[in-house]
A and B are shown apart, each in its own frame.
Chain A
Amino acid sequence: MLDGVSVVRGGRQVWSDGSLTVPAGAVVGVIGPNGAGKTTLFQLALGLLPAATGRIEVLGRTPRAGDRRIGYVPQNYTAALGEAVRARDLVALGVTGTRFGIRRTTAAEHARVDDALRRVGAAGYGDRRMSELSGGQQQRVAIAQAIVDDAELLLLDEPLANLDLRNSHEIVTLLGELRRERVVTIMVVAHDLNPLLPVLTDAVYLLDGHPHHAPIGEVVTEDLLTHLYGTRVRVVRTAQGDLFTRSG
């Protein structure tokens, strides 16, 4: 929930007058042109960046870093990881990684890691190094880490970047399953809406320096998308659902 929020970063106002409420249990696409402040919105929600004006509330609280109810997968997540860590260890960090002191990982914690890996369909390669996995597999592991602590809100930044059609389709299917399993709100930053359309219920779009919220059906219109991206966009409706394409 945002109320009159504006953000300043590096002396530059990223966006302003953000007033919107995202309903619980929604699957929200965060869209807008490059540099519009999509990732910045996530950083606000995570409490990593303060609002310059206005009030912001996430899951009923002012955001602060370390809220265990929020699972986060940053952009280019997998690119930063080398061969020094196994998929399972990475997921375990989602449970135990914030704790100081000397202690062993308990059996219950191992069970939760196994459960998270299973839910994202990554149980088969939990013991492999991250560097040995494909882009789609790494993304699954990253999502497993985000959900291992039973997050109520998932923030995924460009989870489909660098994935081919099949892998990106599988990740989208996974997001739909996660939402059906438990009441979880999912926000996805994506530069390409098409693959996500089957699961999206809402959209937050950053237009002319302000964020807006609307049900997905109201966003996927030719006029709005054309305005948003500054290039002619045509919406083609198919039996499977909406599909929009860009043309010059």
Chain B
Amino acid sequence: MRFQENWLQVLQTTFMQHAFIGGTMVALTAGLMGYFVITRQNAFAAHALAHIGFPGATGAILVGAPVTLGLAVFCVGGGLLIGVFGKRVAEREIATGTILAGATGLGVLFASLATANASTTTTVLFGNLLAISRDQLWLFGLFTVVVVLVLAGIARPLVFASVDPAVAEARGVPVRALGVAFVVLLALTITMAVQVVGTLLLFALVVTPAAAGLRLTARPGRVAGLAVAFALASVWVGLLLSAVIDLPPSFFVVSIAVLIWAVVLVLTRDRHTTVRPEPSGRGVAPRVPEHTA
């Protein structure tokens, strides 16, 4: 660890500016997606998709294609594959875990075939915000626009299908199609986020900020707003710290996200540990006094 006296100059470098622009777009999309990832019980799928991207990235290096392209192809493909498997959470978890393991194995193979050096593999696994190129930024911009616009358009039916799938289906909401659309959006988000925090740390940017927001409020719009704010704070402060102290930005970004979550958890613990009062008696005793208006 080393303090960088020239940190103001570091902040003005091209790679830092790219990092700030790219990180901002990633925080925006990841924060917005987080609420849905949690309500759809897709947290594990999000984690798995990042790992499924690993062979995509190493495979792209193997054939000399852009890493972002490899990530996108594998994430979207893996997402659709997971979507094909049962709607029931238990079934999905097992299918997801199996696909995750298979993909990671493939990633190791590609990495060894491509004789990629250890640092390339490390970049995929842990991300490197400082290595984002101008071309990648354009692609990030495109992904961000697509995710934000589509998400805004399908937000209400998606909330309905997420929290109340049986009724939503009866009311004519295309639950299955929305599920597929969501998983594609998730794959695009993860493709970007992997390049910021890597496959291993992705959870901290896609799930953790929304989880913290959800502790503070249950209103979908506010949760999304808070999640974006937390994710932005993590990325910005993380980058700033990595300019001041010469340590990987991924470490700072993830640490701040986790710190925010932990603080919120402590602040809200009273509200959430209050279990409904249970009657002391058994059988026919009335359970909870109903609040009638």
Known contacts being A89-B218, A99-B156, is A125 close to B169, with CB within 8 Å?
no
Residue contact B220 to A134, C-beta cutoff 8 Å: no
**Residue among A65, A74, A94, A100 making CB contact with B153, cutoff 8 Å:** A100
Residue contact A90 to B164, C-beta cutoff 8 Å: yes
Residue contact A89 to B219, C-beta cutoff 8 Å: yes
A145 to B170, CA, bound (A): 13
Interface assignment of B290: CB less than 8 Å from any CB of chain A: yes
Residue contact A66 to B290, C-beta cutoff 8 Å: no
Residue contact B290 to A98, C-beta cutoff 8 Å: no
Q: B254-293 toward A: CB 8 Å interface, digit per residue (1/0)?
A: 0000000000000000001000100000001111101111
Interface assignment of B64: CB less than 8 Å from any CB of chain A: no
A79 to B23, CA, bound (A): 38
Report A78-128 residues with CB < 8 Å from chain B CB: 80-86, 89-90, 93-94, 96-102, 118, 121-125
Known contacts being A82-B39, A125-B291, is A167 close to B286, with CB within 8 Å?
yes
Closest chain B residue to A126, Cβ basis: B293
Report A21-68 residues with CB < 8 Å from chain B CB: 46, 48, 64-68
**Residue among B159, B163, B170 making CB contact with A48, cutoff 8 Å:** B170
A129 to B271, CA, bound (A): 11
Residues on B with C-beta less than 8 A from A66 are: 171-173
- Chain A proximity of B107: nearest CB distance (Å): 33
Closest chain B residue to A83, Cβ basis: B218
Q: Footprint of A on B, CB under 8 Å?
A: 35, 38-39, 152-157, 159-160, 163-173, 214, 218-220, 223, 272, 276, 284-288, 290-293
Q: Footprint of B on A, CB under 8 Å?
A: 46, 48, 64-68, 70, 72-74, 77, 80-86, 89-90, 93-94, 96-102, 118, 121-125, 129, 132, 134-137, 145-146, 164-167, 170
Enumerate 20 A-B pairs (CB-CB under 8 Å) in ascending A order. A72-B166, A72-B170, A77-B167, A80-B165, A82-B163, A84-B218, A85-B159, A86-B219, A93-B164, A97-B159, A97-B164, A98-B172, A99-B156, A102-B152, A121-B293, A122-B293, A164-B285, A164-B287, A166-B284, A167-B290
